[in-house]
Amino acid sequence: MDENNELVKLSYREALKQALREALQKDDKVFLMGEDVGRYGGAFAVSKGLLQEFGPERIMDVPLSESGFTGAGIGAALGGMRPIVEIMTVNFSLLAFDQIVNNAATLLHMSGGQLNVPVVIRISCGIGRQLAAQHSHSWEPLFAHIPGLKVFSVGTHEDARMLLLTAIKDPDPVIIFEYTAMLNMEGSIPISIPAVDISHAKVRRTGKDISIITYGAGVYKSLEAANELMKAGIDAEVIDLRSLRPLDDRTIIDSVSKTHRALIVEEAWQSVSISSEVSARIMEKCFYELDAPVQRLGGVEVPIPYPKHLEDASIPQKDQIMEVTKKLVGHG
């Protein structure tokens, strides 16, 4: 076996950190700014040790002012730098939303194509750590709504390790969602991975009976469900959307045209969500391939509860994915 194809075991957090290090090493225009990213090592220890390695000019602690430092990052990008802005959690991102939507996303247009904004904004998000309603938001759909942004979701260790490196080269603003509930999750990835093509969804598992389309924290849950469904004789394909904006229609349509059934899984509240959009595109672009109505499993539309059992019940879990899949494929 080629040395490069050896697998290495690491946590999702470690994969994110290696990506940051590599980005900082490869291009000295790259720097990281965010709350507690330096001396504290990051709220979730993702940037631990980087300050010592790269110094305070490249690992920059910022005041608790999301609007202010996100705006500063946008300014640095306009000035030719490649800033990585870390917003500690998505729950605070609305404070920076005006900068992101009204500046980062529009300046290329407003300047008649003269000013592009190559900023990368990393945002932690997700449900599952008993942080209650105000700190458990899934706002991927909110950002994916905005033309001018590219929005990516890191659903696997492989993407945690590689996605940033492709995103940092993008000439336009990129939002990356990372999932705090997955930080300690161990996974195996090849030592050497080719650059990730972040503009395309990724078929994480091929199957013929149903397309389970998901992203973020839904990817591993769906894969686990798919593996167990094999015992029930159901061969499910799992698609990791990866890019929430733009959506990769081709991969979705090809898969649904093959399996003729689709289930979309996400943690975000179901109404006006990524799954709404994917479902609509399936209807528009491959209606006559469908052998069953498109089904969705999204977050229950309540403020996310604090108690563990209620928190678990508020988002799709493996058993639910299996149950709905069986029903859809006709084994329910």
Partner 1 sequence: MGEFRMPSLGADMESGFLREWRVRTGDLVKRGDIIAEVETQKGIIEIEVFDEGIVGDLLIKVDEKVPVGTIMTHILSRDEAKVGIPSVPEKKDESIKEELPREKISISEIQHVRASPLAKKIAADKGIDLTKVKGSGPEGAIIREDVEKVVVEQVAPNAIPERSISDNIRMAVAAAMSKSNREIPHYYLQTKADMSPAITWLAEANKKRVVKDRLLPAVLLIKAVAKALREFPDLNAWWDNGLQRKKDIHIGFVVALRTGGILVPAIHDADKKSLDELMQALSDIIIRARALKLRSSELTDSTLTITNLGEGAVETVFGVIYPPQVALVGFGGITEQPWAVNGMFGIKPILTISLSADHRATDGNTGSRFLTTIKNYLQKPEEL
Contacts with partner 1, residue ranges (CB under 8 A)? 260, 287-293, 327-328, 330
Cβ proximity to partner 1: between 77 and 213 the closer is: 213
Q: CB of residue 293 vs partner 1: minimum separation in angstroms?
A: 7
The count of C-alpha atoms lying within 13 angstroms of the C-alpha of 41, restricted to the half-sphere facing its C-beta, is 9
Cβ proximity to partner 1: between 168 and 286 the closer is: 286
227-240 per-residue burial string, b: 16 or more CB within 10 A, e: under 16? ebbeeeebbbbbbb
Q: Which amino acid is residue 258, in one-letter code?
A: K
Measured on CA atoms in the order 173, 169, 155, 211, is the torsion positive or negative?
positive
Cβ proximity to partner 1: between 137 and 260 the closer is: 260
Length of the chain: 332
Q: Which of 14, 35, 57, 66 is catalytic?
A: 66
Q: CB of residue 254 vs partner 1: minimum separation in angstroms?
A: 15
Two structure tokens written together for 158: 């492989």
C-alpha closest to that of 140 among 218, 30, 221: 218
Distance separating alpha carbons of residues 293 and 290, to the nearest angstrom: 7
**Residue labelled with tokens 């928190």:** 311
Residue 216: alpha-carbon gap to chain centroid: 5
Two structure tokens written together for 300: 């229950």
φ, ψ dihedrals at 295, nearest 5°: -115, 155
Q: CB of residue 181 vs partner 1: minimum separation in angstroms?
A: 33
Burial class (CB in 10 A: 0-12, 13-18, 19+), 264: buried
User: What are the counts of helices (DSSP H) followed by strands (DSSP E) for the chain?
Assistant: 12, 14
Cβ proximity to partner 1: between 1 and 288 the closer is: 288
Q: Annotated catalytic, 66?
A: yes
Cβ proximity to partner 1: between 3 and 288 the closer is: 288
φ, ψ dihedrals at 121, nearest 5°: -115, 115
Q: Annotated catalytic, 289?
A: no
C-alpha closest to that of 15 among 169, 215, 156, 204: 156
Q: In what order do the strands lie in the sheet containing 262-269?
A: 202-205, 236-240, 210-214, 262-269, 295-299
Q: Which of 14, 53, 109, 135 is catalytic?
A: 135
Cβ proximity to partner 1: between 211 and 314 the closer is: 211
Q: CB of residue 206 vs partner 1: minimum separation in angstroms?
A: 20
Active site residues: 66, 135
